[in-house]
Structure 1
Amino acid sequence: MHTDLTFFTNESGSTLLDRFKCTLKDVRYFDILVGYFRSSGFFHLYKSFEHIEKIRILVGLSVDKRTYQVIETARQNDFDFESHDRITKVFEKELLEEVETAADCQDIEEGIRKFCEFIELGKIEIKAHPSRNLHAKVYISRYKEGDRDFGNVITGSSNFSDSGLVSQREFNVQLKNRSDVNFALEQFEKLWIEAVDISEYYVDTIQ
C-alpha cells in the first residue's frame, strides 16, 4: 500500500484526484497553471469546487472543444434550454468515451450547468498565455484565514484532465512550505497579468 503523502503517482490509493478531494475541502483560493485543460478534469472535481471562493485557470497550450463551448455560452449569458441540451449531447458522447471512470449522464448535465454557472458568477476565471509555449503543471491552494497552514503547491507531470488526475501514471509532489507557495504564487501572478481571454486560437483541434 502506498503510504507517502508527499508524492502522487496515480497508482491505487495515490491518485492526484484523491489528494485534491482531501485538500480542497479547506481551500479559499485555487490557482491552476497547466499546459492542457480538459473538461474531463473539471467533471472529476466540480463538486469539490463548490465552496472555493475563487478559481483561476491559466492554460499554457490549449483547451478542448467542449471547454471552449461552455466558456463561449457562459460569456454570452445565453445558457438556455436549447444550448444546454445541445452541449449536453456533445459532452455525453465524447466525455463518456474519454473518461474511464465515467459519470452517468445526470452527473454530466450537472457538471455542465456548474461549469457555466461558475464562469458567469466570476467564481472561475479561465485565461490563456499568449506565448502558447507554457507547459508547466502547477496547482496552488491557499487556505481560509486562520487555518493551520497558508497553503500548498502541487507540481509535477499532471495536466488538468482525466488522465492527469486518475488514469495515467504520473509523478507529482506536494510542497507545503510558505516560501514555496509564495514563490509559485508570484510566478503565477506574473503570467496571469500577461494572459488573454480564451479564443478559438487556443482550442485543441486534435481530439
Structure 2
Amino acid sequence: VGCNGQGLVLYLDLSSLNLTGSLPDEIGCLPFLKSLLLNNNPLMVTGIPDTICQLVNLKYFQASFSGLLGAIPECICTLQHVQYFYVDDNALTGEIPQCIAGMTHLREFHAKCNDLTGAVPEGFDDLMYLEEVRVQCNSGLECTPLDADIIYLCGDLDECVDCPLTPQQCPTSVFIDGCGTYFPPA
C-alpha cells in the first residue's frame, strides 16, 4: 500500500498473495487510487466489479492470471486516465467494449488468453499514445485490422499452448489411453 502525505491510498499491490474469493465492491472506495495490481492470484475467481469504475484517478490496472470471470464492464471506459490495462490469462467472456478504443490516454491494452468474442474495437489506431494491443489466444475474437504503428497481436491460436487454465477451466478428471481416468486430489 502506498499513500501520499495526506494519507490517501494511491497504490495498492495485492499481486501474488494467493488471494481467494471475490474482489470486494469496497475497492471503489479508494477514489485517489492510481495503481491497482492484482496479478498472479488465480484462485480469486471473481468478476470485475462495477465499483472499480469509481476509481477515477486509476492509471494502471493489472489483473493478469487472477481468476477473472465474466465481461469487462463497459463503465471501465469512464476511467479516462487509464494508461495500462492488463487482464491476460483469465476467463473473461463477451466482447471487448467498443468504448475502450476511445480511452484517450491508453498506452497498452492486454487481454490475451481469455474467452473474448466479437470484433476488436475499431478506433484503437486513432489513440495518440497507444503502443500495444495484445489480444491473441481468444478463439472467438475477430481481428479487426489496425492502421497504426503499434504492436498488435491478435489471433495466433497455434501459439496458445502457454495459456494457463484458470481453476474454473480445469477439468475435474483426465482420461489417458491405457492408464484410465485420473482424478486430481481435491
- What TM-score does the superposition give when structure 2 sets the normalisation length? 0.31
Higher relative contact order structure (alpha carbons within 8 Å, sequence separation ≥ 6)? 1
User: Larger helix proportion, structure 1 or 2?
Assistant: 1
Asked which structure has the greater CA Rg, the reply is: 2
User: Larger strand proportion, structure 1 or 2?
Assistant: 2
